[in-house]
Structure 1
Amino acid sequence: MRNIHKILITLFIINCTAASASVPPPQGVVLFIADGLGSHYIYPELMAETHDGKKLQNTPCPNITAGGLRVLYVKAPVPKTGPGHSVIVTGNSKATTETIPETTTLFDVLQNSEEFVILGVMERGSSSNMREKQDAILYAKSNSIRSPIFKIQHKNAPSEILKIMEQRCSMMPEYVNNTAGVTRYCMYNRFAIETAEKIVKTMIQEYPSKRFLLIVNVGGLEGAGHYTKFSTYSEVIKGLDVDLYSFKKLCRDNHIVFLFTSDHGISFRTVDSRGGNAGSDYVKKTESLYIPLIVSAENVKTGILEGEHGQEDIAPTLLGILDIANTLDADGKALPIKNYANIYATTDADYVQLYQGNSLVDNQTGKKVVFKYLEGTYRLRFVKGNTTTEQTVSLEGDIMLNVKVPDTTQPTKTPPPTVKRTQTNHTTRYAAGMILILFVNIIGIMLIRWIKD
């Protein structure tokens, strides 16, 4: 019996390993922005202070901070709502709401490269220029929490999603009527969270073949920070953490990427004073500038990433998680948080060969080539006629190369050699993983029967 237990445990471990190597690409991603939430209030490694130097008690957030990867230090270039949201979706540290129309945004890249549906539920930060780039968005027409008015703007959106948005829009007053204080701010946040949860469920059930990005923004916390004192602000953080539990679980169970962040933080002059972020007394405070960045995805490492990073790194990092080339016109960089790396190359070569050591891993043709799921150091050979250009790369994260091979005197194209590829794509990995799981289970059953006999 003891041997049977050992075999079962071994099979479980092998099955988990095989399954992790065979995960298909995520159907979608949730980009969750908690307006006015500073990382120093929720990260256990950090601690906020008032302007007069009094330390503020950290607010435990087991649902927000647990699991996935936390980036410890992420700084917002400008701790204001408009610029914060603009930087997040463009990857450009100097972005504003006015620059969005002429800037390549995260929305543009996803729509053009993978035909993502871009959806939004936003209580703050939804500038008209941002809304124009989304397929459907439910947004607050004003920042009033006491008497909120929500509208819907859409183009080419899935019909069932529009039905959900219309239903939820009519239900908004029920959330905040006859409420006050902490409860009102929490219920305002809850409306956006529960609406977003219904949208994700609908996309999963009704449109399983459509990939999507849902940007969610809650505004109750920033309202609490601006109009109440720290104790109320802290209680609203607790409420946000509780309300996020089922939403994050839904995303985790359905392989949806969940990225949690903020547009800016809040700082308080004293424990009993109102908070702020953009005024001259607040704008340079650590508590106003540093924001959380927490990523939950199956291809992302777990733990903590230290070092100084910027809010402009969020969009490039998200593209990296989705295995989409970063074509943003931005100064942000993808953080090295994936379990592997990709090489994206634009070239005029006839073909490109990828070597690791002396082993030929893969070769590809085309003006744009992609080598995925890599680890370590590789050598690339760009071949055009009789001319070859080589580059060696050590991968810590995705890289993009633009390689022009010098002109050759022989214009005839050289066909690539036929090789058996050792690097597989997601579909092959998925099939191989399933075969491995089936094989291991069959062997396990045979061993158990043999022991019993």
Structure 2
Amino acid sequence: MLCITINPAGCATFIETGNTNTPDGVVVLIVDGLGNGYINPERDVKAIDGSVLQKPGLSNLPYIYDQAVIFDSVYVPALKGNSGHNVIMTGNRDADDTMVGYDNASIYDVVRKHGYLTVGVLERGDSEEVVAENDLVIHDTTNSINEPVMQVSVSGNREIDVLPLLEKEFETHASRALSRVESTPSGSIQRYYAYNKLALDAAMDSINILEKEGRDTKYFITVNIAALDTAGLYRGYEGYGQCIENLDSMIVPLYETCRENNLALVITSDHGMAFPDAESRGGAKSEKYASANEVRNVPLIILSPNIKQQRIQETIGQEDVAPILLSTLGIADRPAFCEGREKNLKEYAVLKVVSPGITSMKLSNSGKEVCSGSNDSMYYITGLEKNKQYTLETVIDSSGETYKETLSIENDRVIEIKEKDEKQDSTASPENNMHLVGGVLIGVINLTGLAIIFRIMRN
């Protein structure tokens, strides 16, 4: 039996053709400076001098690996500024802070259009653009593990019932951050642990509030912890390994909370860390370190109720994280500048059909109707079996124009139906008008330049 409802977030018809078990929300944990090999049991790690490094002792992450989808090879592009964070958020290899701020350019823009509340708990990677992309953010304005200054920013709709409760909770965390860090011995490794715990505790408390007071609210929480990166830079491989072991113990409550509340958990990093040898400090962005596999290969671990455990051995890019994440959430849309490739980890696929006006739609397989809809211009069809041939038929009510296409669906897809006149009259599009205006301006500039040159020669 088909389940057809109206999606209030997108004002579209939502059609579920099978059991999807889509997660109610997602927590994306970005661990600054975490190289894949240091936690992946199938990978070895080496120092720049070629010596094999002894990996941190882990007990919980290997268990999580057995439940998750694991990517063995996720490579980051050239490192600069907040590039790793920006690539994750946009799906574009060359993304900078400015690109993140463009309309519909980030995963935050996409999920918000699907009714998600976006919440950030950030110790790094919090440019003005990133902060503004989230409905609510608590972030460290100093990036200092010794003297953190946590600030709370709200840019979302304050009429959302649960938002004031979250804001109040974050204000409490912000006011206590410095004293919590200073309660540990100055210069000790425990101070690094305490700094990471600030973010994880704030994330856990926000999930608890959302589960108790905002059960009808889907949410997207980004958690960035930064002490590991700092430990590698200032405390060498020993301190780096100790912070990984501490993360291994601290991640358990977050993992269990996500599993109990039908949430997806994604663990990744902006970049890794390389060390000249086991006794030296590490680095990532300078020429000495940037090309090391320990820097460029980052983890991607995904646990979600709608995907099965598996190990992905093919090599992907960091720009692929955004489309893979959105696909896991059952969202077919992609950020405007996304160039990453999707890998559909679900057992089903999603089809989005968009038309310029009120349209009737029918989807069939081998002559048998799978679903149909009318009186809408947008349809989300989820739960479709993969590796099957479907026939999509639509009729635009105002013009009577028909569209028919046979589709083979493996990944999520978006089909845009356009009226014939719209396809033919490309000169009337805003993009072509901009090209025309640009051409006129270039011509004026060239003529002005020639006039100036002529005047100088004459003089």
**TM-score per shorter chain, which class?**
0.7 to 0.9
Deviation at 1:251?
Answer: 0.9
1:377 aligns with 2:388: yes
Partner of residue 177, structure 2: 172
Structure 2 contact 107–334 (Cα < 8 Å) conserved: no
May I ask how many residue pairs the two structures share in their alignment?
A: 386
1:301 aligns with 2:308: yes
How is 1:71-82 mapped onto 2 (pairs within 5 angstroms)? 71-80=71-80, 82=82
SS of 2:286 mapped into structure 1: coil
Deviation at 1:383?
Answer: 4.1
Q: CA 1:97/1:386 → structure 2, altered by over 3 Å: closer, same or farther? A: closer
Instruction: Single out whichever of 385-394 and 216-225 deviates more from structure 2.
Output: 385-394
Partner of residue 112, structure 1: 113
Q: Give, as a single letter, the amino acid of the residue that structure 2 aligns with 1:35.
A: D
Structure 2 contact 233–281 (Cα < 8 Å) conserved: yes
1:159 aligns with 2:164: yes
1:354 aligns with 2:363: yes
Q: Give, as a single letter, the amino acid of the residue that structure 1 aligns with 2:26.
A: V
Q: CA 1:136/1:196 → structure 2, altered by over 3 Å: closer, same or farther? A: same
How is 1:13-412 mapped onto 2 (pairs within 5 angstroms)? 25-59=22-56, 60=58, 61-62=61-62, 65-80=65-80, 82-103=82-103, 104-114=105-115, 116-155=116-155, 156-157=157-158, 158-177=163-182, 178-179=184-185, 180-329=187-336, 330-347=338-355, 350-365=359-374, 366-375=376-385, 376-384=387-395, 389-404=403-418
Q: CA 1:353/1:275 → structure 2, altered by over 3 Å: closer, same or farther? A: same
Deviation at 1:106?
Answer: 1.1
Structure 2 contact 37–45 (Cα < 8 Å) conserved: yes
Instruction: Single out whichever of 71-80 and 261-270 deviates more from structure 2.
Output: 71-80
Measure the CA separation in 2 of the matches of 1:221 and 1:127.
20
Deviation at 1:325?
Answer: 2.6
1:39-82 deviation line (CA, Å, top 9, x unaligned):
01111111111111011123333355341211111111133550
Deviation at 1:36?
Answer: 0.4
Measure the CA separation in 2 of the matches of 1:353 and 1:76.
42
Structure 1 contact 81–264 (Cα < 8 Å) conserved: no
Partner of residue 447, structure 2: none
Measure the CA separation in 2 of the matches of 1:253 and 1:270.
42
Structure 1 contact 381–388 (Cα < 8 Å) conserved: no
Structure 1 contact 352–380 (Cα < 8 Å) conserved: no
Instruction: Single out whichever of 148-157 and 91-100 deviates more from structure 2.
Output: 148-157
Q: CA 1:402/1:242 → structure 2, altered by over 3 Å: closer, same or farther? A: same
Unaligned runs of 5+ in 1: 1-20, 408-453
1:281-308 deviation line (CA, Å, top 9, x unaligned):
1111111111111111111121212211
Structure 1 contact 161–202 (Cα < 8 Å) conserved: yes
Measure the CA separation in 2 of the matches of 1:187 and 1:90.
30
Q: CA 1:124/1:287 → structure 2, altered by over 3 Å: closer, same or farther? A: same
Q: Give, as a single letter, the amino acid of the residue that structure 1 aligns with 2:347.
A: N
Measure the CA separation in 2 of the matches of 1:386 and 1:29.
41
1:392-434 deviation line (CA, Å, top 9, x unaligned):
3333221222344758xxxxxxxxxxxxxxxxxxxxxxxxxxx
Structure 1 contact 342–371 (Cα < 8 Å) conserved: yes
Same amino acid, percent of matched pairs = 29
Structure 1 contact 79–288 (Cα < 8 Å) conserved: no
Structure 1 contact 345–370 (Cα < 8 Å) conserved: yes
Q: CA 1:117/1:389 → structure 2, altered by over 3 Å: closer, same or farther? A: closer
Structure 1 contact 48–55 (Cα < 8 Å) conserved: yes
Measure the CA separation in 2 of the matches of 1:209 and 1:121.
21
1:327-384 deviation line (CA, Å, top 9, x unaligned):
4111012222112111122346943322222322122344322321111312223344
Measure the CA separation in 2 of the matches of 1:80 and 1:340.
37
Structure 1 contact 81–263 (Cα < 8 Å) conserved: no
SS of 2:298 mapped into structure 1: strand
Measure the CA separation in 2 of the matches of 1:307 and 1:24.
26
Q: Give, as a single letter, the amino acid of the residue that structure 1 aligns with 2:393.
A: F
Deviation at 1:386?
Answer: 8.0
Deviation at 1:243?
Answer: 0.2
State TM-score, norm by structure 2. 0.79
Partner of residue 8, structure 1: none
Measure the CA separation in 1 of the matches of 2:81 and 2:294.
15
Q: CA 1:57/1:356 → structure 2, altered by over 3 Å: closer, same or farther? A: farther
Unaligned runs of 5+ in 2: 1-17, 422-459
Q: CA 1:305/1:393 → structure 2, altered by over 3 Å: closer, same or farther? A: farther
Deviation at 1:38?
Answer: 0.7
Q: CA 1:207/1:386 → structure 2, altered by over 3 Å: closer, same or farther? A: closer
